């Protein structure tokens, strides 16, 4: 293998380059990215950058020392088995790593709406978050809550509209999401649940019920779609992302996929998964590169992510579909609490913690080990989780 091309210059792309060199690959590497910037981290965009604590989140990686041909402002347009079509012509390759990520969903309407995916998005939005500005955030998911937090800290008048019955309903379910509702009131935010947007118009939002919400700034945080449209007709199988096996191989020989765009087969949970979080971009490239170089490697993590909102740290590990919910602490009375999701035989499938980092660390290990819990002891937040096996 003489030339590996990495499509996507985000964290997953950079980690792929590092993994190639760490495993002894000495051939050519070309890294292409749509943006004009050198590779940077995305999680701080909705946190430290939006809050004004950072202006740059460049990934700490010496691409020069790694002997990488970095090409910015270059996008993938199509794919054949031996060549990648780009906005600057064709690139032949022996091995290809796809790390094209995902793109924010936008709402219909002629009004200005801001999304938060790139450093330019974050800096542009930060400039608009000034005291007294009327900010409407569409979507009370992870990004929506973090944007609302930053906007309130900047002194904005904030309204959050959410189609579901609670914040974080898609990620955590309505019951768990409902425990976060009081946080919005405490922060002085007008939270409107079960409310759908008709269109984004100049000066505000027209809602599906015909009502009007005036806004100086509209931020849309209703999710993303994997950036895989350029693969149409290529022969690479897609379906909610690029379909890969447990080794992160695509249906095309010599091509692997990582990060937000990859929909992998999880042995641990017995289903396909596509996880749009930093931990995936950080760790999946090791497996993808090993596979590309002909080694035997399986990607089967316990998914992990975190969010900082309303002065709280939320952390999640596992996968809870089909599991039953058990509270560890009382969200109505305790500032620090956790939620456990258990299988039918009392094995820990997933854990969410609010300002309980030790629970998260121990719980993640328990999920990884597939161990059973003493449920009564686990419900007592004074008992360490490691002592509940």
Q: What is the mean pLDDT of the chain?
A: 96
Same domain? For 231 and 127 the reply is no
Percent share of the chain, pLDDT over 70? 100
**CATH number (domain holding residue 33):** 3.50.50.60
Domain boundary among 200, 220, 240: 220
Beta strands 102-104 and 224-226, pairing class: antiparallel
Same domain? For 316 and 379 the reply is yes
Q: Is 172 helix (H, G, I), strand (E, B) or coil?
A: helix
Token pair 């939620």: residue? 339
Q: Please report the pLDDT score of residue 319 as a whole number.
A: 96
Q: Please report the pLDDT score of residue 373 as a whole number.
A: 97
**pLDDT higher than 90, residue 82:** no
Same domain? For 10 and 30 the reply is yes
Same domain? For 97 and 111 the reply is no
Same domain? For 113 and 74 the reply is no
**Residue 141, token pair as written in the block:** 């998911």
User: Could you give phi then psi for residue 18, rounded to 5 degrees?
Assistant: -60, -40
277: in domain: yes
Q: Please report the pLDDT score of residue 96 as a whole number.
A: 98
**CATH number (domain holding residue 315):** 3.30.390.30
Inter-CA distances, 234 with 6, 77, 80, 229, 230, Å? 17, 10, 6, 10, 9
Q: Residue 267: which pLDDT band, with cuts at 50, 70 and 90? A: very high
Calpha distance 240→219 (Å, rounded): 24
Token pair 């895989």: residue? 228
Q: Please report the pLDDT score of residue 36 as a whole number.
A: 95
Number of domains in the chain: 3
Q: Please report the pLDDT score of residue 158 as a whole number.
A: 98
Domain boundary among 220, 241, 272: 220
- Tens of pLDDT, residue by residue over 315-357, are 999 999 999 999 999 999 999 999 999 999 999 999 999 999 9
Same domain? For 116 and 204 the reply is yes
Closest CA to 317 of 305, 327, 326: 305
- Tens of pLDDT, residue by residue over 360-385, are 999 999 999 999 999 999 999 999 99
306: in domain: no
Q: Which residues contact 156 (CB under 8 A, 6 or more apart)?
A: 129, 130, 131, 132, 133, 134, 135, 217
Domain boundary among 197, 220, 243: 220
pTM score: 0.94
Buried b / exposed e along 188-199 (16+ C-beta atoms within 10 A):
ebebbbebebbe
Percent share of the chain, pLDDT over 90? 98
**Residue 49, token pair as written in the block:** 């950058």
**pLDDT higher than 90, residue 60:** no
- Tens of pLDDT, residue by residue over 29-57, are 999 999 999 999 999 999 999 999 999 99
Same domain? For 255 and 325 the reply is no
300: in domain: no
* Span 298-321, average pLDDT: 96
36: in domain: yes
For residue 231, give its domain range.
Answer: 3-103+224-292
Q: What is the enclosing helix (H) or strand (E) of 255?
A: strand 255-257
């Amino acid at each position: 293998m003489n030339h590996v091309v990495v499509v996507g210059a985000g964290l997953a792309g950079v980690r792929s380059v590092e993994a190639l060199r760490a495993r002894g690959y000495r051939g050519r590497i070309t890294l292409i990215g749509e943006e004009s910037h050198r590779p940077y981290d995305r999680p701080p965009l909705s946190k430290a950058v939006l809050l004004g604590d950072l202006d740059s989140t460049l990934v700490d990686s010496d691409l020069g020392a790694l002997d990488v041909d970095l090409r910015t402002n270059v996008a993938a347009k199509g794919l054949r088995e031996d060549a990648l079509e780009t906005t600057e012509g064709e690139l032949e390759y022996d091995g290809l790593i796809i790390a094209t990520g995902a793109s924010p969903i936008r709402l219909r309407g002629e009004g200005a709406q801001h999304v938060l995916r790139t450093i330019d998005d974050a800096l542009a939005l930060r400039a608009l978050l000034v005291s007294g500005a009327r900010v409407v955030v569409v979507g009370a998911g992870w990004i929506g809550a973090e944007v609302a937090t930053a906007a309130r800290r900047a002194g904005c008048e904030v309204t959050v509209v959410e189609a579901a019955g609670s914040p974080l309903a898609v990620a955590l379910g309505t019951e768990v999401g409902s425990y976060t509702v009081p946080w919005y009131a405490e922060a002085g935010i007008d939270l409107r649940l079960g409310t759908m947007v008709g269109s984004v118009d100049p000066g505000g939002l027209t809602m599906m019920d015909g009502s009007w919400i005036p806004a100086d700034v509209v931020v849309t945080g209703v999710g993303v779609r994997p950036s895989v449209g350029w693969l149409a007709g290529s022969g690479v199988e897609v379906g909610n992302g690029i379909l890969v096996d447990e080794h992160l191989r695509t249906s095309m020989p010599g091509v692997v996929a990582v990060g937000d765009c990859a929909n992998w087969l999880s042995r641990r949970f017995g289903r396909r998964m596509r996880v749009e979080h930093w931990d995936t971009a950080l760790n999946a490239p090791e497996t993808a590169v090993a596979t590309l170089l002909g080694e035997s490697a399986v990607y089967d993590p316990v998914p992990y992510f975190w969010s900082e909102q309303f002065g709280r740290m939320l952390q999640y590990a596992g996968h809870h579909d089909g599991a039953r919910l058990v509270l560890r602490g009382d969200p109505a009375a305790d500032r620090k609490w956790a939620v456990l999701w258990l299988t039918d035989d009392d094995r820990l499938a997933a854990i969410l913690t609010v300002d309980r980092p030790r629970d998260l660390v121990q719980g993640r290990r328990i999920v990884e080990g597939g161990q059973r819990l003493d449920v009564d002891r686990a419900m007592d937040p004074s008992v360490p989780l490691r002592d509940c096996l």
